[in-house]
Structure formats: structure tokens, C-alpha cells
Structure 1
Amino acid sequence: MSNIGYVNVSLEASGCILSFVVAVCLLAGGRTRAALDRLFLRLLICNAAILFFDAAAWLFKGRPGRVNWWGVRVSNFLVFALGYVLLAAFTHYLTAYLGLRVRVSPLPLRVMRAMCVFSVLLVIFSQFNHMFYSIDAQNVYHRGAWFWLSQAGGIVGMGVNAGLLICYHKAVEPQDLAPLWSYIALPVLAMCVQIFVYGVALLNLAVTISILAIFLFLQVEQAHRVKERELELTELRISVMLSQIQPHFLYNALTTIKGLCASDPARAEKAVDSFSAFLRGNMDSLTARGLIPFSQELAHCKSYLELEQLRFGGRVKVICQLGAADFCIPTLTLQPLVENAVRHGVTRRREGGTIWLRTEETDSGWRITVADDGVGFDPQQKCADGRPHTGIENVRARLAAQCKGCLTVKSAPGEGTAVEIDLPRGGQMEHEHDDIGCGRRTDRP
């Protein structure tokens, strides 16, 4: 094997190992749950395979024997075919990346997949008519007269990807532009050079550098964004907790307890227990980093409702219809909805009303419903201070971020309100819980 051959094998073996190490890091770090990470993992695996087979083609080249004869032909075929697969895989990755920020047309990806199939068919035909390359009797690879067409197809594919970036450039973060464009610019430059120069495997080297650049810049940046999102959730949890301990509620609860101390000491003692349980539930929410058992959140809501029933008497009725309870939810999810039903629903009517709390197991997960027959409201209308219903929006944001849940509101003035929470099973299993009963690992055998 020539000196150039040894150089190519060394470069491609190094690139293959690097791609494999990055793939292992993604798998070991649990970074393959998101669709974008899975697509990037496919890029790494496909690139590693191309580098491996290209290095194998150089090692088998010019050597006698049946194994070497088959090795050269199979390796070169896979290098050409997987190159087009890698190009289509990058288009899929780029489309998914842009799709996180804007609606992307599926046409470019369909075009790339069609071109990939067509190009692989040309590689198959080349095994018979030698349009791209041929292998002589000495088991040596030679370029064919139409080799430039194999490179031109890749350049056209990169042009499609460049068109995607140009068309949707506003959806790309400024710091992400350089690594994404590197995957287009470097391989195109390498393909242009390889059309006229045969020797060092520039294309595979350029693709490997570009993929590693995407990992270093985009994937690491994504990890930082996840940490920032976790910080935002922590701050949101604290703000929600503080919003529940409102001065007017504390004043009203203490005033009610004070009145009961003289008229009904037994009920006053029970009210103190409910009040302390309510405060303890709010404080516990500060340390609850994951999901909590529904029973724990329900107990917190009952403490709140007991205090409100002491204050409003028979004007606040509560009916619990629990068809399921063995699941987990984010902390302080149910209590704000119940409080809205009391403050903005049934107590706005002179005669009061009823609050229904229902749970049920569905085909896809669990459903929680908080309904009331209060005054109702227009969900599209902003609050009196000009802002949307921030309490509901906070709960909706935490449900989506922590367990992929969703919240819907059905209400109309004079007809009451119903808030439904749907929790998917997948969101329960994929989330790393911190509480016993929600997937926490303990030291017990």
C-alpha cells in the first residue's frame, strides 16, 4: 500500500473512532430521547460506517485472494451508497432542527430521499457498466468516466440543504449558523477538489470535521438550554408557591380560626391542622424537583378546601370522584386550579356552588378534571389587569415541560368552568422522578 493509502487509513480510522466515541457519549448521557438527538446519532453511525468501509477498501486494495477481491468491491459499493444515505440523513436532521422553531415544508426532504434512492440505483448499475468506478484484475480501484456524476449528485444535495438554511435562516440561532453551514461548505469544497484530484480522502475528512463541529456547537448548546430550562422551571415553581401564600388568604384563614377558638374550639383545632398542612405542602414544593404522587397533591388541595369551607360554610361544596390515583403530577398543579374554582367560580355566586374533582385512566394515560358550576368566564378574554390568565398558563407550561401533559379549559360566562389535564404514560416513564412512588431509586434492597 502506498504512503497515501496509509495516510487515508490513519485519518479514516481516527474519524471512525471519534464518531463512535461521540455516539457512545450520547447514549451514555441519555441524550437520545429527543428526536433531534436520535437523528444526530444516525449521522454519527452512518459516518462511522463510511469511514470504516473506506479504510477497509484501502487495506484490501491491490491484494490477491478471494477475501480481498470481495472486500474491495463490497467496501467501495458501501462507501458510495452510504454517502448518499448520509446526505439524506443530514437533510432529515436539518429539517427536524428547523421544525423546532418554524413550520418546514416536507418537499426538500422528499426530494433528497428520492435522489438518494436514484443515486444508490446508479451505484448498483455502476457495478456492471463501471460508470463511476472499476476494479481491475490486480484488485485496484480506478475512477470511471462518469465519476464526476457521483460527486455532482452530492453537490446538488448540498444545494438543497443550503436552500433550506437560506429559506429558513430566521429560525436559526446566530451561533448555530457556522456549524450547519460547515457541513455544506466543507464537503462541497472537498467534492469539487476530488473531481480533479485523486489521492487523499478529502470528502470523508470534511464530513467528519463538520459532524463533530455540529456536535460541539449545537449539541452542547442544546445541553445548556436544557439546564436553563430546568432553572426556569425551578424559578417558576418558587413563584407559583409564593403566589399561593397570598396575604389576604393568610389573613382570612387566621381570622376564621380566631373566630372558631371562642365558638367551636374543636373545629378551631382542626382548622389549625389544615392550615399547617397547607403551609407545609407549599414549602415542600420548593424541594420537589420531579413529579410527586397524585395522592400527595390531593392531600394538599384538601387542606386548602377545608380552610375555605370553614370560611364560606355551605357555599362551597366539594365532590371527589377518583377513578384513578396511581400516577404522578408536577407539584402545585391541582391546587391552583381548585383555588380558581373557589375564588373565581362558586364564591362569585351568592348561593355558592359545587366543585367536582374527577380522575380517570384513559387509553393513553390519565385525565384529571376540575369542574365547577360557578359564574364561568371567557377563556380568550384577558384579566382585568390586561394580562392573560397567568395561573393557568404557568400550570400548562410546567405540565408540558415536566411530563408532556396538556391542559384545556372549557368555560363560558354563567355556565361554569371545567379544566382538564391529560397526562401521557410516556411522560411519566421518561421523567426522572425524585419522590418515592414516582420512580425514585432508594438504598433499600
Structure 2
Amino acid sequence: MDNFLIANIALDLFCLILSLIPIIYLGNDYRWHQKLNLYFMGISVSNGLMIIGDLGDWCFREITTPFLMIVVSLLTVLYYASSAFVLYFFARYINEYLELKRPARTIFLWIITLLCSVQIFFAVISPFTGAIFTITVAGYQRGSLFAISQLVPLLCYLSFTWLVVLHRKKLSRREVIFFLLYIFIPLGAGALQMFIRGIAVVNVGVTLALLFIFVNIQSERDLLIRQQEKELAESRVEIMLSQIQPHFLYNTLTTIRQLCDVDPDQAKAAIRDFSLFLRGNMDSLESKAPIPFEQELLHVENYLALEHQRFQDRLKVVYEITARDFSIPSLTLQPVVENAVRHGVLRREEGGTVTIRTEETADAYLVTVSDDGLGFPDKLEGEDNQSHIGIKNVRERLRLLCGGTLTLRSTPGRGTAAAITIPKEGATL
């Protein structure tokens, strides 16, 4: 293998390493869940596969066996198909970035999808027809319809250019410059490689242009979006807390009011317990960040003590606490327990038992609240939407503050079990 081929292989490998940078970044911390990041990930992965496919041309200059011919053919198909996917994902990316409206969005994506499909089709049939390329004993050779593989990117890049120019008022000067660089660098590299066979300039051009976009546009936009999402989450938490506080206070004061009619002495004790509860837990009511589970459990114990003073033997509570050293969003366990009390055991004339259980698994903490009440139909909220606002808020706050979940499982006539799952990475004290 001569030095020229070694240089091209080294260049491809270097570009492959560079293409991993955005993939690793976007794959970390679930960044790819955001649409722009997902499409940019698609561009980066497709670019990496395109480079891998291109390596076959440089590594195997002489085809000595039928098996090697199949391998090189497959790698070449991968190269042309992946280059089409680079264009497709960039089209999705720029559509999302510019927030195109219908019908322009539909027409644009339809045209790009059609063009990319044409290239993929001819790439797939080329090993059999020699349309875009052929593989001989001398290695890769351009086919009779090789121009298709150059015309498709040209038309796509012209479409991208038209979009950027047309919507330039939405973009800053910097964004316009780097979008146009992404378009014209690969376009120029493709034109150069079309006339000068044997220089791996397309992969270099696409990879460098991709990094320009990543460093100067996408990473900054990702940080901005994440900051906005954090601010939005905080504002939503504040709204939900404002809903939860009156909800809890109303139910507690209702309990005390009812005790005043039944047993004034118990009402006095309840007022005392309630004042101690408020004094020790106002910080929990205000907290946006997760708090120690012990603190949330004390909150629940005080609530259940108040309810027990009202319902006496109709309400029994069992604690099976085997895991304690984790954190949980404040006011997430109490609404679940309240649901078990009011919509579970107390619907039975004889009452029942509420069981609170915690356990630790390899990657999460589980908090289960179960009752032996009457259960409920499939749609919990359908019966009394307002009463279950606390349950809805628990789900949202678990998701926002620690990536946790709340699942409900009920069997009519046999009770309900609510399971809170808190991933360990979101439950660190």
C-alpha cells in the first residue's frame, strides 16, 4: 500500500474520530430527546457511517476473492446511502431550526426525501447494475449513472441555500454564515472530488462543516434551550406547589373542623399536632428541590396522625421502611397516601389498611403505597378530577425534579397500589 493510500485512510479515520464528538455530546444526559439534537445526531451518525463506507475504497484497491468483492460492494452502498441520510437529516434539522410552516415545510421535506430516496435506490441496485458504481478486480469504479450521486447533493444543497436566504431575517448574521459554510464546503469538496479521483476531500468537507455547525450553532442553541427548559420547569413547579398547598391545607382543616363536632378534646390535640406540623414543615411546602425522604415521611406521619384522630379504628397504617437514605421531591408522598386513605380504605364502611413500603434496587429507590380498599376503574381522574389534582402534580414533579415516575395499579374490590420510582442519579442526598 503506497503512502497516498495510507494518507487517505488516515484522513478518513481522523474524520471518523471528529464525527464522534457531537455523537458523544448529544448522547450524554439524554440531549438527543430534543428534536434539534436528535436530527443533528442523525447527521453525525450518518456522516460516521459514510466515512466507514468510504474506507472500503481505500483499503481494498485490488479485489482478489468473491467475498472481498461483496464486502467492498456493501461498504460502497453504505457510503452512498449514508451520504443521502446526511442530506435527509440536515433537511429535517434546518426545517426544525427555521420552524417552517405548511405548505412550505411539506413541499421542502417531500422534495428532499424524494431526492435522497433516488440516491439510495440507485446505490442499492448498483452492485447488480453498475448504475452509480461497479466493483471489479481493480477495485471501485464509477458507474454510468455516477452523476446521480453528484446531482442529488447539488439539488439538496441548492434547496438548503434557498431556505437560508429566504429566511435570513430569522437568523443572526453568524447563523447565516455558518449555515452557508455547511452548504458550500461539502458542495465545493464534492465538485473537486468529481474531477480529481483519488482524494478523500468530501468526507473532510462534510465533517469540518458539521463541526462548524456543532460548535457555533447547535451546542449554543442546546444550552439556551436547556436553560429555558429549566426556567420553565421551575415556574411549573411554583404553579404546582401553589395548587398543592391549598389542597393539603383544606383537607387538614376539614378534618379538624369535623373533629370539633365529634370530640372537642381530640380537636384540640389535632390543632396542636397541626401547629407542630406547620412549624416543622413549612420549608417542605416551599422547597422546589428534592428533600430527604425522612423529612417527607415525617410529613406523611403527621398527616396520618390527624386522619387517624378522626377515623380511629377505620384507618390502620403499616410502615415497612427498609430504605431511607435518598431524596424525594417535597409533597409527593403525601398526596399519594391521601389518595389511598380517602379514595381507598375509607370507602369501605369498615375501613382498611394503608401500607407504606420502601426498598432499594440496583438503580432506583421504590416507594409503594398500597391499600385494601375498593379500588377504582381504569380512569382514576374520571370520577373526581379536582380531588386527584395532587396525583397529577406528583407525576409531573417527579418527572421534572428527579426523573422519577408514578404508576397506579388497581383491582376493583381488592385495593390499589401506587409505586413511586426514583432513579438513583436523581435521588442523591
Mapped partners of 2:378, 2:30: distance in 1: 29
What residue is the counterpart of 1:23 in the other structure? 23
Give the deviation of 1:371 after TM superposition: 4.5
Structure 2: which amino acid aligns with 1:160? S
Mapped partners of 2:19, 2:66: distance in 1: 31
Mapped partners of 1:151, 1:187: distance in 2: 11
State yes or no: 1:428 paired with 2:405: yes
Mapped partners of 1:179, 1:361: distance in 2: 56
What residue is the counterpart of 2:185 in the other structure? 186
Other structure's SS at 1:141 match: strand
Identity of aligned residues (%): 18
Change in Cα spacing, 1:197 to 1:178, as seen in structure 2 (3 Å) is same
Change in Cα spacing, 1:85 to 1:368, as seen in structure 2 (3 Å) is farther
What residue is the counterpart of 1:143 in the other structure? 142
8 Å Cα contact 1:285/1:332 also seen in 2: yes
What residue is the counterpart of 1:45 in the other structure? 45
The 5-angstrom pairing of residues 28-427 of structure 1 reads 28-99=28-99, 105-124=105-124, 126-127=126-127, 130-137=130-137, 139-144=138-143, 146-169=145-168, 176-216=175-215, 217-231=217-231, 233-234=233-234, 237=237, 267=267, 270-278=270-278, 280-289=280-289, 362=378, 371=386, 403=399
Give the deviation of 1:272 after TM superposition: 4.8
8 Å Cα contact 1:135/1:141 also seen in 2: yes
Mapped partners of 2:393, 2:107: distance in 1: 32
Mapped partners of 2:205, 2:192: distance in 1: 12
8 Å Cα contact 1:241/1:282 also seen in 2: no
8 Å Cα contact 2:130/2:143 also seen in 1: yes
Write out per-residue CA displacement over residues 345-401 of structure 1, whole angstroms, 9 at most, x where no aligned residue. xxxxxxxxxxxxxx97757x96795549xxxxxxxxxxxxxxxxxxx9xxx999879
What residue is the counterpart of 2:422 in the other structure? 439
Write out per-residue CA displacement over residues 282-329 of structure 1, whole angstroms, 9 at most, x where no aligned residue. 421444435999xx79x79x98xx9xxxxxxxxxxxxxxxxxxxxxx9
Other structure's SS at 2:205 match: helix
Mapped partners of 2:394, 2:180: distance in 1: 35
Other structure's SS at 2:424 match: coil
Report the more deviating stretch, 116-125 or 273-282. 273-282
Q: Which runs of 5+ in 2 are unaligned?
A: 307-327, 336-374, 408-418
Mapped partners of 1:270, 1:176: distance in 2: 63
Write out per-residue CA displacement over residues 205-256 of structure 1, whole angstroms, 9 at most, x where no aligned residue. 121123333333413531353145325644775698699999xx9xxx9xxx
8 Å Cα contact 1:360/1:367 also seen in 2: no
Mapped partners of 2:382, 2:155: distance in 1: 50
Write out per-residue CA displacement over residues 79-129 of structure 1, whole angstroms, 9 at most, x where no aligned residue. 122211221122223334444x86672332222222222222333454455
Give the deviation of 1:59 after TM superposition: 0.6
8 Å Cα contact 1:360/1:368 also seen in 2: no
Change in Cα spacing, 1:60 to 1:222, as seen in structure 2 (3 Å) is same
8 Å Cα contact 1:237/1:286 also seen in 2: no
Mapped partners of 2:279, 2:184: distance in 1: 59
Mapped partners of 1:371, 1:136: distance in 2: 73
Report the more deviating stretch, 28-37 or 169-178. 169-178
Structure 1: which amino acid aligns with 2:83? G
Other structure's SS at 2:33 match: coil
8 Å Cα contact 2:395/2:406 also seen in 1: no
Mapped partners of 1:158, 1:401: distance in 2: 44
Other structure's SS at 2:92 match: helix
Structure 2: which amino acid aligns with 1:207? V
Mapped partners of 2:121, 2:180: distance in 1: 28
Mapped partners of 1:44, 1:429: distance in 2: 35
8 Å Cα contact 2:119/2:148 also seen in 1: no
Mapped partners of 2:97, 2:394: distance in 1: 23
Write out per-residue CA displacement over residues 167-199 of structure 1, whole angstroms, 9 at most, x where no aligned residue. 555555766545444332221222222232223
8 Å Cα contact 1:194/1:202 also seen in 2: yes
Mapped partners of 1:70, 1:284: distance in 2: 66
Change in Cα spacing, 1:46 to 1:53, as seen in structure 2 (3 Å) is same
Give the deviation of 1:266 after TM superposition: 6.3
Name the TM-score, length of structure 1 as normaliser: 0.57
Name the TM-score, length of structure 2 as normaliser: 0.59
Mapped partners of 2:178, 2:210: distance in 1: 8
Structure 1: which amino acid aligns with 2:424? R
Write out per-residue CA displacement over residues 9-44 of structure 1, whole angstroms, 9 at most, x where no aligned residue. 111112223334543443343333334433333322
Give the deviation of 1:131 after TM superposition: 4.9
Other structure's SS at 1:32 match: helix
What residue is the counterpart of 1:350 in the other structure? none
Mapped partners of 2:292, 2:405: distance in 1: 11
8 Å Cα contact 1:9/1:58 also seen in 2: yes
8 Å Cα contact 1:47/1:208 also seen in 2: yes
Mapped partners of 1:160, 1:11: distance in 2: 29
